[in-house]
Amino acid sequence: MDTILPVLIAVIVGSAFLIFILTVKSVSSRKKNKNVSKAVRQKNRTSTVRECTKKLTHDPHNINALQQLADLYFDEQDWEKAFPLYDSLYELSLVHSEVDIQKDALREGICALKVNKLDEAEKGLLSAHKLLPNDFETNFYLGEFLYQRKDYDKAIACLHKAHAIRPDVTDVNRPLGFSYYKSQHYKESLSYLRHVLDESPEDKETLFALASAMEEAGYGDKALKIFVHLRPDPDFGAQSCLAAGLIHERLKQFQQAVQDYEIGLKLENIPPDLQTMLRYRLANSYIAVNNISKGLYYLKQIQNTTPNYKDVGTLVQRYQELNSNSNLQTYLMSGTSDFVALCRKFVEAYYPNATVKIEDISVATESIEILCSVESSRWEDTELFRFYRNTGAIGELYVRDFHAKLRDIKCDRGFCVTAGIYTEEAHKYVEGRPIDLIEKTMLVSVLKKIDMLS
């Protein structure tokens, strides 16, 4: 037993060594055969190119030489060299029946599409489609061509047909999804764009398109998550910041919108028009959270680069005044409680030498009303103040309504106050009636008195 064990070990070791040697030789042999095969193919290719070129030098219409050389370059995906050869074969097919017009028309179209010769691609692909209407490649590449031409509806028809012929080929998903997306068929695009991302999760263009399609299709919460994820991206980050900010604005989440737009403006190489749009939305978001000085900062940046952009000039003028007059800012932009408190002070400041007693305050959607009694050393009245927060023009109908209210409550006098103006018809209506129309200039004057009193 003691002598058998060493012999057995020696046999096993020897066998393992022999197997190792044979494996190394086998691998070496395969590599050698592979290198030989590659060298043979290269030699054959060089020989084919040389012989075909020689034939074409003597006869540019040599069908066999054109076909061989075109197919060789096509298989190597050398579209630049293959295209003129297939183009020649396509033209020669009119007089040479031996030309495989179905194959060569299709390949001419494919090569032209690959090198961005769209007119030539159209010629070849449409000819191939007439000859092979139910062929996968014909429908796929014609769909690709139509997509590049922005003829999205026709592209969808071709790509759908290609997908039906070969549902296993995933290359159809991207052009089909983008054709739906760019033709504003957002819901239809979603499944195809998702399939693209299943295979290529790092495809940021498709991810951005998916988020945009989701938002348009009514899935804003899911879209927002993707836009937020894309914010740092160097290519789609700025657009994603804008999209996320707009969603946050619609949700009245202005502080989050500010963050979105600020991230977007920190990115590099932003197109000027997109940069201006981000600044505009950021300014409006800052104003929405009552940070007027910051809003003005970005509005003035836009004025310096794009002076006539939207209503920037009007906004700068308006908010510069608000920024310098805190009471006017409160009047136009504060919450209801602060607005009511300011209006009470306005009524008191309007009669500095009289005793004012507030009887009632009513808050409506468009305005607030303050009923008060005013007593001075020489007279006593019951008066109604109505305050409008808008900055536009108040028309006659509003003043008529106010006058009717005065009659109903048997009020001695009324004051209609606005941060805007009254129309000419409104001014004519109050002539001879116990109503004073207080426009922005007078409003600001009284608000300044409140500043002085406080």
Helix and strand counts by DSSP (H, E) for the chain: 21, 7
What is residue 308's DSSP assignment? Answer: T
Residue 94 confidence (pLDDT)? 81
Residue 5 confidence (pLDDT)? 63
- pLDDT average per 10 residues of sequence, the chain (454 residues): 62 69 64 55 80 88 91 93 92 86 93 94 94 95 96 97 95 97 97 96 97 96 97 96 97 97 96 97 94 94 93 90 83 89 92 92 92 92 94 93 94 95 96 95 89 50
Residue 209's φ and ψ, nearest 5 degrees, are -65, -40
Residue 311 confidence (pLDDT)? 93
Round to whole Å and give the CA distance between 396 and 423: 7
141 C-beta neighbours (distance < 10 Å), count: 26
Smallest Cα–Cα separation from 101: which of 128, 61, 71, 137? Answer: 128
Residue 1 confidence (pLDDT)? 52
Dihedral sign, Cα of residue 231, residue 237, residue 239, residue 240: negative
What the chain holds in terms of domains, given with CATH numbers, is 202-324 (1.25.40.10), 336-453 (3.40.1350.10)
How is residue 358 written in tokens?
């507030």
Round to whole Å and give the CA distance between 69 and 65: 6
Round to whole Å and give the CA distance between 366 and 42: 84
Which strand ranges, in their side-by-side order, compose the sheet holding 355-363?
355-363, 367-375, 380-388, 413-418, 435-438
Who contacts 239 (Cβ-Cβ below 8 Å, separation ≥6)? 208, 274
3-class secondary structure, 195: helix
Provide the whole-model pTM: 0.72
Residue 350's φ and ψ, nearest 5 degrees, are -70, -25
Which secondary structure element, helix H or strand E, spans residue 422, and what is its range? strand 421-422
Round to whole Å and give the CA distance between 171 and 143: 12
**Burial degree of 70 (CB within 10 A; 0-12, 13-18, 19+):** buried
How is residue 364 written in tokens?
């409506």
Smallest Cα–Cα separation from 330: which of 453, 452, 451? Answer: 451
225 C-beta neighbours (distance < 10 Å), count: 13
Q: Is residue 142 within 8 Å of 126, Cβ to Cβ?
A: yes
The DSSP result for 346-397, as a single string, is HHHHH-TTSEEEEEEEEE-SSEEEEEEEEE-SS-EEEEEEEEE--SSEE-HH
Region of 116 please: left (phi>0), alpha (psi -120 to 50) or beta. Answer: left
